[in-house]
Chain A
C-alpha cells in the first residue's frame, strides 16, 4: 500500500529524518487558520495524492499569505493529479535549497534483497538521471547497519526494515544553505502482508484508481480481514464502468480472462478474483456484493482447472447469492477441478429452482471460448 507524503513524513520523523515544519489540511478545514498557526511566512502547499510528478502537474504551489494559502488550497482540492483524488494538502516551510540529492531503498528482484540507490542529482525523476550519476549499493535484510557515507542512509534503512516497507524514497533530499539535510518529499510503500505485526497500521482507505474506494470495494475488502485473513482470498473487487458481472478464480487466469472478455466485445462491471480455496461464507459475501451492482446484463463465472480450490464449496457460496438475488440476465460458468461434478450439480439445481438462464462448461471448453458464448446470450 502506498502512503501519502504526510504519512511518510510522520514515519521519517519517527526515525530521525528531518522534514520541513508543516501541517496537514483536510477537505473542509480552514487552510488560512492552519497557515497562521504554522507561523512561517513563505510556505509550499502540496497536494496529497498517491501519484508522483506533482510538480509538473500543478500540485505544488508557493504562497506567502493566509489569503493566498486559502485560495491555493481550495484550487488544489479541486484538481486531481493525473486522475488521482486529492485526499489532503500539506502546508510546510519553504526551504532555502543549496543542493538536491536522491536516496531510496527498494527490493531488487535480481539480488532478491533491498538495494540503496543514491544520486547527487535529486529533484527530478530518477529515471531521467544518467546511469553514470546513480550509485547502487546491494544490501541484505540481515544486516543492521549500512555503513555508507550517505545522509540519512542508516535512518532510512531502519525505517525500511522496522516499518516493513517495500519502498522508501526521499526525492529531493534537500541540503539547505545552512547545511542541514531535510527530506522535502516522502514516498513509502508498506507491505500489507506484514500487517499482523503492525497493529498500529490504521491508515485511511485509498485506491490507486484515482478516486476514493466505492462502498462495494470497501465491503469486499472487509471479507479478507480478521484472524483467518490468509485462509483463501475473496477480498478482491475493483468496480468498473461495464455491465458484465465477473466472478473469476485464480490470479493468472483472471487477467487472461479480462482480456478475453474485452476482446469478445463485452465490458466488465468489476474485476474480481477469488483463490486459495476460500470457504463458502467468504465466496457468498463476495458474490452478493458483485451481484448487487445495478444495471448488470450478464454474469461470467470463470476459472481454470483448479488444483485444490474446492469447486463444490466455492460454488455453494455463489449459489447462496444466486438464490437470494435470482438474476434474470444470462450466466455462463466455466470451471473444473476438485468436486467439479458436485459443484456443477449445485449450479444446475439452483438454475432450475430460480429459472436462471445459465450455461455450464467444464474443462473441455477453453475459457476464452465461453466468453463468446456469453456474448451470444447477452445479444439475444
Chain B
C-alpha cells in the first residue's frame, strides 16, 4: 500500500508538449508510472513519448475515461485556466507543478476544487513518489533508483530539493520511504502537512514520518500550536513530534522507528 499513488493511477499531463512537461513525461514513464496522454490546446494530434496529445481534457476523456491524476506543466499565467479545466472534468487528484502563480489565482482554483472534493497538491510542487510504484513529476530525477527504495518512512517537505536530499539521507542510513511528497513552498498549500499525516496514519506501510518545514508560517500548527520558532519547536515536542537541530539529524531521530 502507499498514499496518493497506486498501480491503478493513470496520469494526464497538461502542457506535455512544453520542455518541462515532456521531460516529466519521460521521467514518469521511466519509473513505471502510467502516463496515458497529454493536453495542449492547439497541439492535438501530436505525440510525446508515444502518447497522444489532445486539444482539451474533454477530448482526452473520450479516449481515456479512467484518468485519475493530472500533472500541470503550463506557464504561470495559464495555470488557473488549466487547473479549472481539470476540476471541471472531475479529475480526483491534481498536482500543480507550476511556480509563481498569482496567489489570487491559487485561491480561486483551491476554492473550486474543495467544492468538488478534489485533492490539489501544490502549487510549486515538484510532485510525489511512492518508491517502487510510481512518481508524479520528476522527484528523484535521474538518480531516483539510488535515492528511493520502498520502506516505512513517509517524507513531507516544503522544499523540493530537500524532499530529495532528505530521502537520500534516509536511504543512506539503510532505510526506505513509503512515499515522499513535496507540498510546495507557496503561502497557500492545496494539501497540507495535516492532510498528509492523516493519509500516512492510515497507511499500513508507514511507521514514521519526517517533515521538513519552514521558519515562520502557520502550517505546522495543524500538528501543534505555537508562535515563534522556539515556541513552534516546543509545542510540536509537546504533541510528541521530535524536532531536529540539523537536517542530517532527522535520520538519526527516525531510525529507531523504521
A-side interface residues toward B, CB under 8 Å? Answer: 107, 109-110, 112-114, 140-142, 161, 164, 166, 191, 193-194, 196-197, 229-230, 233, 249-253, 255-256, 259-260, 275-277, 303-308, 336-340, 363-364, 366-368
Q: Which residue of A lies closest to B120 (CB)?
A: A112
B23, B110, B162, B217: residue with the most chain A Cβ atoms closer than 10 Å: B162
**What would 8 more interface pairs be, CB under 8 Å, given A109-B189, A109-B218, A197-B102?**
A112-B111, A230-B100, A259-B246, A260-B246, A277-B20, A306-B161, A363-B143, A367-B165
Q: Which DSSP category, helix, strand, loop or mixed, fits chain B's interface?
A: helix
Interface residues of B in 156-211 (CB under 8 A from A): 157-165, 168-169, 172, 185, 187-190
Tell yes or no: B77 within 8 A of A by CB: yes
A307 contacts B246, C-beta separation under 8 Å: no
A230 contacts B76, C-beta separation under 8 Å: yes
Tell yes or no: B61 within 8 A of A by CB: no
A-B contact pairs, 30 of them (CB 8 A): A107-B188, A109-B187, A109-B189, A109-B218, A113-B107, A141-B108, A141-B111, A164-B102, A164-B103, A191-B104, A193-B102, A194-B102, A230-B99, A252-B161, A252-B162, A253-B159, A253-B161, A253-B162, A260-B246, A304-B161, A304-B165, A305-B165, A307-B160, A308-B138, A338-B141, A338-B143, A339-B142, A363-B143, A364-B172, A368-B247
B159 contacts A112, C-beta separation under 8 Å: no
A250 contacts B111, C-beta separation under 8 Å: no
A307 contacts B215, C-beta separation under 8 Å: no
Q: How far is the CA of A340 from the CA of B164 in the complex (A)?
A: 15
Tell yes or no: B83 within 8 A of A by CB: no
B111 contacts A140, C-beta separation under 8 Å: yes
Q: How far is the CA of A118 from the CA of B10 in the complex (A)?
A: 47
B162 contacts A250, C-beta separation under 8 Å: yes
A193 contacts B76, C-beta separation under 8 Å: yes
B162 contacts A304, C-beta separation under 8 Å: yes
B219 contacts A109, C-beta separation under 8 Å: yes
Least Cβ–Cβ distance between B201 and chain A, in angstroms: 20
Q: Chain B residues with Cβ under 8 A from A364's Cβ?
A: 172
Q: Chain B residues with Cβ under 8 A from A229's Cβ?
A: 100
Q: Chain A residues with Cβ under 8 A from B187's Cβ?
A: 107, 109, 166
Q: How far is the CA of A307 from the CA of B172 in the complex (A)?
A: 17
Least Cβ–Cβ distance between B23 and chain A, in angstroms: 7
Tell yes or no: B75 within 8 A of A by CB: yes
Q: How far is the CA of A337 from the CA of B165 in the complex (A)?
A: 10
Q: Chain A residues with Cβ under 8 A from B140's Cβ?
A: 307
Q: How far is the CA of A305 from the CA of B112 in the complex (A)?
A: 35
Q: Which residue of A lies closest to B27 (CB)?
A: A308
Q: How far is the CA of A112 from the CA of B107 in the complex (A)?
A: 6
Asked if A305 meets B247 with Cβ closer than 8 Å, knowing A164-B102, A250-B161, the reply is no
A306 contacts B157, C-beta separation under 8 Å: no
Q: Which residue of A lies closest to B107 (CB)?
A: A141
Q: Chain B residues with Cβ under 8 A from A259's Cβ?
A: 246
Q: How far is the CA of A367 from the CA of B159 in the complex (A)?
A: 15
Least Cβ–Cβ distance between B78 and chain A, in angstroms: 11
Q: Chain A residues with Cβ under 8 A from B20's Cβ?
A: 277, 308
Tell yes or no: B36 within 8 A of A by CB: no
Q: Which residue of B lies closest to A114 (CB)?
A: B107
Q: Chain B residues with Cβ under 8 A from A307's Cβ?
A: 126, 137-141, 160-161, 163-164
Tell yes or no: B248 within 8 A of A by CB: yes
How would residues 92 to 135 of chain B score, 1 for a CB under 8 Å from any chain A CB and 0 otherwise? 00000001111110011011101000000000001000000000
Q: How far is the CA of A141 from the CA of B101 in the complex (A)?
A: 15
Asked if A306 meets B141 with Cβ closer than 8 Å, knowing A109-B187, A113-B107, A193-B76, the reply is yes
Q: Which residue of A lies closest to B103 (CB)?
A: A191
Q: Chain A residues with Cβ under 8 A from B137's Cβ?
A: 307
B111 contacts A142, C-beta separation under 8 Å: yes
A166 contacts B246, C-beta separation under 8 Å: no
Tell yes or no: B72 within 8 A of A by CB: no
Least Cβ–Cβ distance between A274 and chain B, in angstroms: 11
Least Cβ–Cβ distance between B134 and chain A, in angstroms: 16
Q: Chain A residues with Cβ under 8 A from B190's Cβ?
A: 112
Q: How far is the CA of A251 from the CA of B215 in the complex (A)?
A: 12
Q: How far is the CA of A91 from the CA of B126 in the complex (A)?
A: 49
Q: Chain A residues with Cβ under 8 A from B103's Cβ?
A: 107, 164, 166, 191, 193-194
Q: Chain B residues with Cβ under 8 A from A109's Cβ?
A: 187-189, 217-219
A275 contacts B161, C-beta separation under 8 Å: yes
Q: How far is the CA of A253 from the CA of B187 in the complex (A)?
A: 18
Tell yes or no: B212 within 8 A of A by CB: yes
List the 4 closest pairs (A to B, CB-CB), nearest first.
A252-B159, A250-B161, A304-B165, A194-B102
Q: Which residue of B lies closest to A339 (CB)?
A: B142
B107 contacts A249, C-beta separation under 8 Å: no
Q: Chain A residues with Cβ under 8 A from B139's Cβ?
A: 307
Q: Chain B residues with Cβ under 8 A from A367's Cβ?
A: 165, 247-248
Tell yes or no: B39 within 8 A of A by CB: no
B159 contacts A251, C-beta separation under 8 Å: yes
Least Cβ–Cβ distance between B172 and chain A, in angstroms: 8
Tell yes or no: B147 within 8 A of A by CB: yes
Q: Which residue of B lies closest to A273 (CB)?
A: B161
Contact partner of B104 (CB less than 8 A), chosen from A161, A252, A338, is: A161
Q: How far is the CA of A277 from the CA of B161 in the complex (A)?
A: 11
Contact partner of A196 (CB less than 8 A), chosen from B76, B142, B160, B215, is: B76
Q: How far is the CA of A251 from the CA of B20 in the complex (A)?
A: 20
Q: Chain B residues with Cβ under 8 A from A250's Cβ?
A: 159-162
